[in-house]
Amino acid sequence: MVTVAWDVDDVLNELMRFWFEKKWITEHPKVRLKYVEITENPPHKLLGVSKEEYLTSLDEFRLSIKYKKMQPVPEVKNWFVHYGKFFRHIALTAAPLSCTPISAAWVIRHFGYWVRSFSFVPSQRKRENLPQYDKTKGDLLRWWGKADILVDDSISNVEEAQSMGMQAILMPQPWNNSKLTTEQTLELLMNLTRKMSPHD
């Protein structure tokens, strides 16, 4: 079976949107920036703050009940309902260790019917001094050696996967150059999988 590696935040869910709209704007009501104008990730320069301040705020959101209550991207969940059983799936995220248990629980709660593996590359934080096995998702995928397709919102992650000979699909977000809708992106995924392993 074709194995699809799914990024979690901003692919399976809408972390950046929810954090920005439900935490950052609430705490900074004078902000005039709109979500669609977040053309950089991380967006600290657009917000006029340090990267550390941005990451602290994002991690606070990840550790809050609001993250736990986030719903999956409807189009992605619908894709899994209709087509998930035809493939194997791995969730692959880059998050600080302190937030990863919550991320894993969220994935299993919403996608555990299909996703049987959860892997992560720890995002560096000053307070976490961890052994570094992999610097990037590409490093982990290269070591793992089983994924056929990566779905991610990061151009650099997609390009690294492609440089390894994997198929990779860019999930549209304001900070990347995808011109497709989410529905079109998932259709592209289906077209790729049909070429690799025909199914109904």
Please enumerate in sequence order all residues whose Cβ is within 8 A of that of 32, keeping only pairs 6 or more positions apart, or say none. Answer: none
Look up residue 172 and give its DSSP letter.
Answer: P
Please enumerate in sequence order all residues whose Cβ is within 8 A of that of 160, keeping only pairs 6 or more positions apart, or say none. Answer: 136, 137, 138
* Average pLDDT score over residue span 30-56: 96
| pLDDT confidence of residue 198 | 59
Alpha-carbon distance of 196 to 180, in angstroms, equals 22
Q: Model confidence over 139-180: pLDDT tens digits?
A: 999 999 999 999 999 999 999 999 999 999 999 999 999 999
Q: Residue 199: pLDDT above 60? A: no
Q: Hey, what amino acid is at 177?
A: N
